[in-house]
């Protein structure tokens, strides 16, 4: 399939990927192109324009890949004509100085935590967790509003962990929002909205001991999961917000950028192992008894807050 629109999109993506190596750029561009072709083959009613619109602007897509690799997103020039006029008047050196100043002002500090408003902003607002509004914004998309997008698909249902002989749940996601609450019965209940169409199950049931909820290939996801009592839960996410409400089983959470909210059950004892590289951690009451439930969480850029 040859499309001038697709080729132009891929050229902009290549430019926006910036400091990523040539080989990785090639893999990313090939992956995006294959996705567009496959989407149109699976649904001939779709146009190249609609598929590209669902992916987002090339700069936004590039920023997601840069974030996954721990690299700082690129700032795309918005007015090329104006740029060259300035070059003509001020010279190349002046433009370089201006670019450095703009970059620093846009992305420094890396993280800003507003405790009064319950807000965490990372990389100049590229990731914005606003607890007062109950919103999570990543790359310009507010997850609480992305339900209206045409490519959203909903997965919901129930899993019996006893029938599968699973004693733990593992969740993986790239960009998203997840809320964990207590199930009213002995089953696991889930409701997930994702931003890419996907055939089949979002669960991987091949591990005999662990049920895996894999959303790592989704651009965005938003889930509410009700956990049976005592179930062990592992969460591995890149960018987003995680809410844990009154946990009665062990948790182990790894998050690259974002915020983790923990609401303890006052009648239970917890043993906390919490770490934030850049950001803030609230005070939690740590219990050293053997009966204490282990809560382990780490965030590179962001915050761990107590609700």
**In terms of domains, do 59 and 171 share one?**
no
| Mean pLDDT, residues 30-51 taken together | 85
Domain boundary among 68, 85, 113: 68
55: left (phi over 0), alpha (psi -120 to 50) or beta: alpha
Domain membership of residue 296 (yes or no) is yes
Cis peptide before 109 (omega within 30 of 0): yes
124: left (phi over 0), alpha (psi -120 to 50) or beta: left
**In terms of domains, do 185 and 38 share one?**
no
Q: What's the token pair of residue 115?
A: 């405790």
Give the sign of the dihedral formed by CA 235, CA 198, CA 239, CA 181. negative
**In terms of domains, do 64 and 147 share one?**
no
| Mean pLDDT, residues 76-96 taken together | 59
Q: What's the token pair of residue 239?
A: 């960018």
**In terms of domains, do 158 and 56 share one?**
no
Domain boundary among 26, 49, 68: 68
Domain membership of residue 295 (yes or no) is yes
Contacts of 164 (CB under 8 A, 6+ apart): 205, 211
141-142 vs 135-138, strand pairing mode: antiparallel
**In terms of domains, do 40 and 169 share one?**
no
Q: How far apart are CA 70 and CA 307, in angstroms?
A: 29
127-130 vs 119-122, strand pairing mode: antiparallel
Q: Which residues are bridge partners to 111 per DSSP?
A: 122
**In terms of domains, do 280 and 163 share one?**
yes
| Mean pLDDT, residues 120-132 taken together | 61
DSSP string, 194-233: ESS---S-SEE--SSSEEEEEETTSS-EEEEEEEPTT-EE
Domain membership of residue 272 (yes or no) is yes
| pLDDT band for position 98 (cuts 50, 70, 90) | low
pLDDT tens readout for residues 247-269: 999 999 999 988 999 999 999 99
The residue with tokens 């996907």 is: 198
Domain membership of residue 133 (yes or no) is no
Q: Which residues are bridge partners to 223 per DSSP?
A: 178, 192
More confident residue, 36 or 114: 36
pLDDT at 231 over 90: yes
Taking a C-beta distance cutoff of 8 angstroms, is the pair 33, 6 a contact?
A: yes
**In terms of domains, do 147 and 54 share one?**
no
Residue length of the chain? 307
Nearest to 190 by CA among 144, 238, 154: 154
Note the pLDDT of residue 139. 55
Angle at 37 between CA 32 and CA 39, to 5 degrees: 95
**In terms of domains, do 285 and 173 share one?**
yes
Note the pLDDT of residue 152. 81
Domain membership of residue 212 (yes or no) is yes
**In terms of domains, do 188 and 282 share one?**
yes
Domain membership of residue 274 (yes or no) is yes
Structural domains counted in the chain: 2
Domain boundary among 22, 48, 68: 68
**In terms of domains, do 56 and 176 share one?**
no
pLDDT tens readout for residues 183-196: 999 999 999 998 76
**In terms of domains, do 157 and 19 share one?**
no
Domain membership of residue 108 (yes or no) is no
**In terms of domains, do 14 and 163 share one?**
no
Q: Backbone phi, then psi, for 218, in 5-degree steps? A: -85, 140
Note the pLDDT of residue 104. 46
State which residues form the domain around 220: 143-306
Domain membership of residue 229 (yes or no) is yes
| Mean pLDDT, residues 133-155 taken together | 62
């Amino acid at each position: 399939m040859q499309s001038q629109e697709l080729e132009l999109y891929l050229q902009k993506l290549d430019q926006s990927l910036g400091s990523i190596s040539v080989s990785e750029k090639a893999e990313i561009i090939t992956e995006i192109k294959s996705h567009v072709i496959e989407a149109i083959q699976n649904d001939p009613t779709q146009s190249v324009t609609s598929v590209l619109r669902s992916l987002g602007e090339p700069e936004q897509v590039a920023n997601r890949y840069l974030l996954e690799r721990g690299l700082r997103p690129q700032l795309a020039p918005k007015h090329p004509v104006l740029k060259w006029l300035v070059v003509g008047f001020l010279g190349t050196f002046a433009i370089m100085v201006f670019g450095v100043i703009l970059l620093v002002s846009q992305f420094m500090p890396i993280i800003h935590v507003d405790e009064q408003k319950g807000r965490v902003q990372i990389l100049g607002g590229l990731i914005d967790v606003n607890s007062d509004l109950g919103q999570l914004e990543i790359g310009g998309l507010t997850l609480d509003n992305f339900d209206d997008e045409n490519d959203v698909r909903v997965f919901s249902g129930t899993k019996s962990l006893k029938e599968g002989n699973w004693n733990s749940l593992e969740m993986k996601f790239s960009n998203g929002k997840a809320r964990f609450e207590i199930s009213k019965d002995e089953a696991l209940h889930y409701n997930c909205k994702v931003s890419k169409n996907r055939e089949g199950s979002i669960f991987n049931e091949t591990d005999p001991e662990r049920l895996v909820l894999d959303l790592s290939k989704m651009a965005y996801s938003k889930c509410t999961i009700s956990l049976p009592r005592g179930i062990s839960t592992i969460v591995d996410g890149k960018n987003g917000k995680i809410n844990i409400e009154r946990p009665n089983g062990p948790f182990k959470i790894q998050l690259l950028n974002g915020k983790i909210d923990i609401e303890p059950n006052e009648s239970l004892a917890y043993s906390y192992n919490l770490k934030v590289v850049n950001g803030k951690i609230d005070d939690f009451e740590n219990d050293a008894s053997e009966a204490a439930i282990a809560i382990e969480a780490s965030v590179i850029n962001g915050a761990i807050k107590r609700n």
